Copies of this chain bind each other. A is one copy, B any other.
Amino acid sequence: MVIILEKNASESQIENVIKHLEDYGFQVHKSTGVERTILGAIGVQPNFDTRKVSILDGVSEVYRITTPYKLAGRSFHEEDTIIKINDVEIGGNKVVLIAGPCSIESEEQIFRMAKVVSESGGKILRGGAFKPRTSPYSFQGLGEDGLKMIRAAADKYNLLVITEVMQIDHIELMDQYVDIFQVGARNMQNFSLIKELGKATKPVMLKRGIAATIEELLMSAEYILSSGNKNVFLCERGIRTFEQYTRNTFDLSAIPVVHKKSHLPIIGDPSHATGLRDQVPPMARAAVAAGADGLMIEIHDDPENALSDGPQALLPNTFIKLVEELRLIAHAIGRTL
């Protein structure tokens, strides 16, 4: 932590600040310049609220110099994390494809979709069984029946299953059916839930909240990592901005930034980021070009009658064609897909 004192800070104010810092457990260095005195407070306290110092008399500005996360950061863990599930690797050179419908709607539907995913070269099948919906009047998912269907469909086509977990008392139930727990954007800071997932043995995909900074995303990952689960990967799915033409603004810069700051893999979800089918292919291509370790794409073969989010789902043919383009782009940057 670096503390810049006011130009006219008195000696007694400076001493009082130093005393507080030492009481908080820091080792203090003092630099006296022509215009200002600067204090350096050394010590590892990732959870220290710097505002405690900024309100002391004589203090002008306070800067934290260590990132508030440790386990998620690259400083203490230089090599990329690669998550291995059966023969699938997330975070390696190969870009991973996750696809499927927004909601599991019926056995036939999820089997048809699993077939499409498999044919495209995708490795992981997505589909919601418990749906968090903005409106209490909307379709809320098939529940455990849905979980059984997606497991069966994935097994038939040799795919992994990812689905969203929304509450703590569903973890045990879902653990029987899924390979990866998805934490939705709205739950990124549901700390009760993510701490519990830190005790799970299966990997967790953590989606960025629509108003979450990249640092907050890494802090939430830290919750899971610090509870013991090291298999965490992240998902950029759009942030809320003033631009309303697209549902959200797909912040692709988050991909290289996360790769710089953290060893955790990060994928992109162009379907939720844009909310509109015709935006999905260009944004999927852009995500791979930006270095995403994977993509999550919603598909549906009858989007007009989809029970949720039909308008952002790709038709199977469009999806298959898109994957071909994605493969070429992956090659252009030295990866496979």
Contact = CB atoms under 8 A, between A and B. Distances in A.
Given A242-B211, A253-B249, A310 B42 contact: no
Contacts of A328: 328, 331-332
Interface string A281-299: 0110111111100000000
B75 A7 contact: yes
Nearest to A78: B8
A282 B255 contact: yes
Interface in A224-261: 226-227, 239-246, 249-257, 260
A280 B312 CA distance: 29
B285 A287 contact: no
A86 interface: no
B329 A289 contact: yes
Interface in A3-37: 4, 7, 20, 27, 29, 31-36
Contacts of A274: 253
Interface string A165-200: 011110000000000000000110111110100000
Interface in A122-141: 132-138
A47 B192 contact: no
Contact of A51 (B46, B190, B226, B311): B311
Interface majority SS (helix, strand, loop, mixed), chain A: mixed
A245 B47 contact: no
B239 A256 contact: no
> Which bucket holds chain A's interface residue count?
35 or more
B289 A227 contact: no
A219 interface: yes
Interface stretch (A60-68, A91-99, A154-162): A60-68
A2 interface: yes
A244 B244 contact: yes
B168 A137 contact: no
Interface centre among A52, A167, A191, A276, by most chain B C-beta atoms within 10 angstroms, is A191
A317 B191 CA distance: 35
Contacts of A195: 136
A67 to B, nearest CB: 9
Contacts of A60: 65
A311 B309 CA distance: 36
A251 B56 CA distance: 27
Nearest to A190: B190
Contacts of A65: 4, 36, 38, 60-61
B187 A190 contact: yes
A63 B44 CA distance: 19
A49 B311 contact: yes
Interface in A101-147: 132-138
9 contacts: A36-B66, A60-B65, A137-B226, A187-B190, A213-B244, A214-B245, A249-B253, A253-B283, A285-B289
Given A49-B310, A60-B65, 7 more contacts: A47-B135, A51-B275, A134-B216, A134-B219, A137-B226, A210-B211, A253-B279
User: 5 closest A-B pairs (Cβ-Cβ)?
Assistant: A211-B211, A51-B311, A33-B42, A328-B332, A47-B137
